[in-house]
Structure 1
Amino acid sequence: MKALRVKPEFVSLLKMGNFDTFSVPRFRDAYLELIGDKSKPKNLTRQLVYRHLRKLEECGVLERVDTGKLHPIEYRIKDLAQLDSRPTVRQNVEMIPEQADKSLPEKVVHTLKVKLSKYRTDMLSAAGALEEYEAIAQAQPSLKGAIQKKYDRTREEYAKTLGKVRAIESLLNTKPSL
């Protein structure tokens, strides 16, 4: 079976637990909020989201809910175990945790928050690059081979940066253990 390739942002949204039953427009809006790009045309983003949701439906991750109406189509999560087990992103990427462990010196907390902000910016940049590579590959299929290595490298960088974000968040959110 061919490997299931889904945008990391979609995996994150599905794993957050806010989407037991949802429509394409609702998922699109959550996706736009996650990536922080309100300038993207909603129609194009809806198409991107719909394609990914259909792919997830075909693989058994999602199932359609019979609403008795043609639109909006609603989906329900069926089996998230088929998605990869990478860590997820928080829904509001710009939010920096305020509840740092009191045992960390204020200077360290400040340094970690600055790093966290930079890594989150890098993540959003990588997400934008991934989308652009996909758009170029769709518009110019002859370039797909040349783009694939860059796409894979960018996706790997995204995953590594996501790991860094999770590590720093875990330090900043740690409660003192007695």
Structure 2
Amino acid sequence: MPKPSIKINAQLNSILQEENFDNFSVTQLRDTYLTMASTTEEPVEARKYVYRQIHRLINKGLLLKKGSKNSKSIVYRKSELFFEAKFIVQRTTAPTVSKATSAPVITNDAIKQLEERLKESEVDLLTSIGESEEYMRLYQSFPEMKTHLESQYLQAREKSSKLLGKIKAIKSVLSHQQK
């Protein structure tokens, strides 16, 4: 059977080809795409675009979907076929990509901004982890407040997960630029 070939946006290809970029959500891929692509796209439009591309890759058998249909915890992972596929990279697929994407070199100013965002996100992550740990300690001390503390704990954990995704995306972009 011949290896499948598929046209793909250059930025999406770069992100998906990263070895450690697997088991991702649509939002994680969108955030990484927006950071890397330097687009003028709104996050909602970028999410729709990324979702359409993920669906295309699922239909070709290159990505596998894990999670129930209406769940917010759906993740996608690369199939064996993904590693065998031939990707035909296209420079710009999204219509709102700015001219900045044609420049392959990222400026030192942009790298500094990314590093600053990374530091801020790491501090926010530590804060969020500390918050969730404190909710657990409060629950142990005050079990009668279980309902309120449990919902606060879950919100803090969700925030931690989002921040971790943000950190991974920024680190991925920085490591890609330093190659």
Please classify the TM superposition score into its range, dividing by the shorter chain length. Answer: 0.3 to 0.5
Q: Give TM-score, length-normalised by structure 2.
A: 0.45
Q: Give TM-score, length-normalised by structure 1.
A: 0.45
Q: Higher RCO, 1 or 2 (CA under 8 Å, sep at least 6)?
A: 2
